[in-house]
């Protein structure tokens, strides 16, 4: 059995490095540091780390995820509190900078001061919430027309969105529940049902 070796990708330290997303095409790893409200990109080929502080765009929220927007070069969707925003971020920009986000949509959350987006995948634009109070969050799917549909409610800290290789099962974690749930999933419609 081969030995697994783990190396730090940066000499910087992060308070809460979250939401890693590997981009196979350009061999980069993007992630956020939630308490610092920053995004980071690691370039495997050169070992370069690009950092950007995100202005909150008037949302009062910190950045909680970053995912590339399919078909839009250098464009990323980010979570800002209970809002979804877009940023342009090119690899040719300086390694340390401040970026301004363009607000795209906000959840109509009555508990907006108690919840925030936590995790997201661009596999049909999924986003989920985290809260310090049990069961105030939800799991959402956002369509190409920015329509938000709630799929799972009574969530505390959404994490770990993943799909089976055949796209028929969605795996999902609500961290305080200490379990992985599996849902039957339709790739064509985005519908989920029957939690295992």
**Could you tell me which residues are annotated as the binding site for substrate?**
116, 118, 129
Rg (CA), the chain: 17
Q: How far apart are CA 124 and CA 140, in angstroms?
A: 10
Provide the Cα torsion 113, 41, 24, 188; round to 10°: 10
* Distance in Å from the first CA to the final CA of the chain: 33
* Residue stretches of the annotated binding site: 18, 116, 118, 129, 159
SS3 109: coil
Question: Are 80 and 87 within 8 A, CB to CB?
Answer: no
Question: Are 158 and 128 within 8 A, CB to CB?
Answer: yes
Q: How far apart are CA 37 and CA 66, in angstroms?
A: 11
* Residue stretches of the annotated binding site for a divalent metal cation: 18, 159
Q: How far apart are CA 69 and CA 74, in angstroms?
A: 8
The half-sphere exposure of 6 on its side-chain side, counting CA atoms within 13 A, is 0
Q: How far apart are CA 158 and CA 79, in angstroms?
A: 13
């Amino acid at each position: 059995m081969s030995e697994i070796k783990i190396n730090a990708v940066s000499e910087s330290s992060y308070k809460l490095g979250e939401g890693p997303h590997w981009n196979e095409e350009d061999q980069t790893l993007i992630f956020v540091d939630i308490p610092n409200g920053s995004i980071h990109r690691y370039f495997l080929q050169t070992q370069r780390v690009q950092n950007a502080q995100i202005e909150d765009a008037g949302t009062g929220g910190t950045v909680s995820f970053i995912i590339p927007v399919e078909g839009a070069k250098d464009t990323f969707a980010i979570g800002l509190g209970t809002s979804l925003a877009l940023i342009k971020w090119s690899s040719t920009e300086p390694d340390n900078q401040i970026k301004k986000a363009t607000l795209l949509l906000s959840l109509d959350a009555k508990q907006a001061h108690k919840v925030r987006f936590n995790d997201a995948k661009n596999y049909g634009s999924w986003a989920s919430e985290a809260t310090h109070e049990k069961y105030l969050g939800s799991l959402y799917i956002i369509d190409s027309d920015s329509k938000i549909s709630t799929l799972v409610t009574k969530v505390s800290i959404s994490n770990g969105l993943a799909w089976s290789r055949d796209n028929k099962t969605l795996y999902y974690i609500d961290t305080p529940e200490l379990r992985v749930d599996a849902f039957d999933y339709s790739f064509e419609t985005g519908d989920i049902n029957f939690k295992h």
